[in-house]
Amino acid sequence: MPDRILIVEDEQDLADTLAYNLEREGFEPVIAHRGEDALQLALRDPTPTLVLLDLMLPDMPGTEVCRRLRNTQKTAAVPIIMVTAKSDEIDRVVGFEVGADDYVVKPFSVRELLLRIRAVLRRSRADSRTSERLVVGRLEVETDAHRVTVDGGEIRLTALEFKLLQQFIERRGRVQTREHLLAQVWGIEADVTTRTVDTHVKRLRDKLGPGGAYIETIRGVGYRMRPDPGDDGR
Ligand code: CA
């Protein structure tokens, strides 16, 4: 059965173009022009495999649609790619308070969007298989044993650094805001600020050596673990 993709987009031409291209790639597109319609459609069987969600909709913000999908049991785990018009909206939409899995900024190419969709689908399928041995390129983490190796060599991390790394790996590919990391790893204490996150990420990167390059800085937003080490300007 083809993967059903719910396109939530009020610009009719764009919605049609997306639907046409998705169909050509073997997906089953469904279009909603309003947030309310999207929420209704998402509840129908079969549940969408992925939701492509425009941030600016006529009846409610895309972030609200995202929140409601997340808070509904049936759609809570459906991956959501947010479509925004401005790149400075990114930290708002990928933050943990909204819960989008990825984002694209308008105008985007259909090719780029398809790559994003495939990546998000792959990731969500991998996440649904439980594993206690996580591998990202040269980096390997055994969660139960709290063991971390880079190129087979063991790296000693503090409990907090391990928790931070685990958080990166479990949500690899997704942008994580400093606030989200703070909440997940530190549990937000009064004397801890987002600067603390930066300090610990730097320390973690240094300890990981070549493995540290997998942690990418998203300027002004936070961090993301990527599958390949890249040039992070360091
Ligand atoms: Ca719109």
pLDDT digits (tens, 9 = 90+) for 97-125: 567 888 888 889 999 999 999 988 888 77
Domain boundary among 128, 147, 168: 128
Same domain flag for 106 and 137: no
For the chain, the average pLDDT equals 85
Cα of 13 to ligand 1 centre, how many Å? 11
Cα of 61 to ligand 1 centre, how many Å? 9
Q: Is residue 81 within 8 Å of 51, Cβ to Cβ?
A: yes
Residue 232: the pLDDT is 45
Domain boundary among 93, 111, 128: 128
Highest-scoring range by mean pLDDT, 69-83, 129-143, 202-216: 202-216
Same domain flag for 152 and 120: no
Same domain flag for 13 and 86: yes
Domain count, the chain: 2
Percent with pLDDT over 90 in the chain: 43
Could you tell me the pTM of the whole model?
Answer: 0.57
What CATH code is carried by the domain that includes residue 214?
1.10.10.10
Cα of 38 to ligand 1 centre, how many Å? 13
Instruction: Please give the helix or strand (H or E) that residue 208 lies within, else none.
Output: helix 194-208
Same domain flag for 88 and 151: no
Spatial separation of the C-alpha atoms in residues 126 and 81, rounded to whole Å: 17
Q: Which residue range(s) make up the domain with 164?
A: 130-225
